């Protein structure tokens, strides 16, 4: 199953790979070189398919828990000053996504979308300390009556050139449902209350819509 954001790219890539393979077969007479190129085209095509895959996740709905919004590795757990929305101290948990991870972004909690904003910006590498405030990014805040407010931020990396955000202010959303997509790169930051119980550790691998990041 592939994410809808990849349908157009997959169709274009298929056409290019098929055309390139036929051209190589027609115009390259050296058999080993022709075979090498055709294998390279196939590998490229498989990588594109892998990037846009959208596997089904078995989300266990729980208003007391914050689930990971993406697949990847936990690279930051620290107390910071959140300056865009809360303007106070929060626990930041950041998940870095490599190009081979699923890049679908999912809602970490269910509830009402209070805030959704896009920020143009730079394309620093996703692990750069300033990427959270200087890179292209979107900020979304969701609130439910049990856990409260959770802010999460999609951040473009050096390769990511487009962030897709479906969150609309005033919309009711379900925990684990599709919130967006980051094309080619990056990370997601979560900003949680100081008294939350963090359930992950640095360098831990997590799965979007399933792994528990924090709970009351």
Tens of pLDDT, residues 92-120 = 999 998 878 888 999 999 999 999 999 88
Residue 191 belongs to domain spanning: 65-215
Distance of CA 112 to the CA centre of its chain: 21
- If one compares 83 and 53, the residue with the highest pLDDT of the two is 83
Residue 33 lies in a domain: yes
Q: Which of 5, 1, 37, 3 is nearest to 20 (CA)?
A: 37
For all residues of the chain together, what is the average pLDDT? 88
Residue 203 lies in a domain: yes
Tokens found for residue 193: 């209350």
Question: Is the model's pLDDT at 125 over the cut of 80?
Answer: no
**Same structural domain, 36 and 106:** no
Residue 80 lies in a domain: yes
**Same structural domain, 78 and 165:** yes
Question: Is the model's pLDDT at 50 over the cut of 80?
Answer: no
Interior CA angle at 41 toward 35 and 42, to 5°?
Answer: 90
Threshold 0.85, pTM exceeds = no
- Greatest mean pLDDT among 7-16, 50-59, 115-124, 159-168: 7-16
- The number of distinct structural domains making up the chain is 2
- pLDDT at position 48: 81
| The residue to which tokens 């208003």 are assigned | 63
User: Catalytic site residues?
Assistant: 186
**Same structural domain, 24 and 100:** no
- pLDDT at position 107: 97
**Same structural domain, 14 and 105:** no
Instruction: Read off the pLDDT of each residue in 34-51 and give the average, rounded to a whole number.
Output: 86
Among 51, 73, 90, residue at a domain's last position: 51
Q: What is the pLDDT of residues 179-200, one digit of tens each?
A: 998 876 688 999 999 999 999 9
Q: How far apart are CA 117 and CA 169, in angstroms?
A: 9
Q: What percent of the chain has pLDDT over 70?
A: 90
**Same structural domain, 97 and 159:** yes
Question: Is the model's pLDDT at 57 over the cut of 80?
Answer: yes
- If one compares 24 and 84, the residue with the highest pLDDT of the two is 84
Here the CATH number for the domain that contains residue 179 is 2.70.70
* Phi, psi at 94, each rounded to 5°: -115, 140
**Same structural domain, 101 and 175:** yes
**Same structural domain, 28 and 74:** no
Tokens found for residue 5: 């954001």
Residue 129 lies in a domain: yes
**Same structural domain, 210 and 160:** yes
- pLDDT at position 44: 87
**Same structural domain, 77 and 163:** yes
Q: Which of 104, 87, 86 is nearest to 95 (CA)?
A: 104
Residue 59 lies in a domain: no
Residue 58 lies in a domain: no
- How many residues can be counted in the chain? 216
């Amino acid at each position: 199953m592939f994410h809808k954001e990849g349908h157009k790219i997959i169709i274009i890539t298929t056409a290019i790979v098929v055309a390139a393979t036929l051209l190589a077969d027609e115009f390259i007479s050296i058999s080993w070189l022709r075979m090498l190129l055709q294998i390279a085209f196939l590998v490229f095509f498989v990588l594109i398919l892998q990037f846009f895959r959208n596997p089904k996740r078995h989300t266990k709905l729980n208003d007391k828990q914050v689930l990971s919004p993406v697949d990847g590795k936990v690279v930051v757990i620290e107390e910071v000053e959140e300056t865009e929305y809360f303007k106070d101290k929060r626990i930041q948990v950041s998940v870095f996504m490599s190009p081979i991870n699923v890049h679908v972004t999912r809602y970490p909690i269910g509830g009402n979308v209070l805030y959704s904003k896009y920020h143009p910006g730079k394309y620093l590498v996703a692990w750069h300390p300033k990427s959270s405030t200087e890179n292209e990014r979107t900020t979304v805040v969701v609130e439910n009556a049990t856990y409260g407010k959770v802010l999460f931020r999609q951040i473009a990396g050096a390769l990511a050139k487009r962030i897709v955000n479906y969150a609309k202010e005033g919309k009711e959303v379900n925990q684990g449902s599709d919130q967006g997509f980051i094309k080619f790169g990056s990370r997601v930051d979560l900003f949680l209350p100081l008294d939350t119980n963090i359930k992950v550790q640095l360098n831990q691998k997590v799965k979007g819509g399933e792994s528990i990041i924090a709970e009351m």
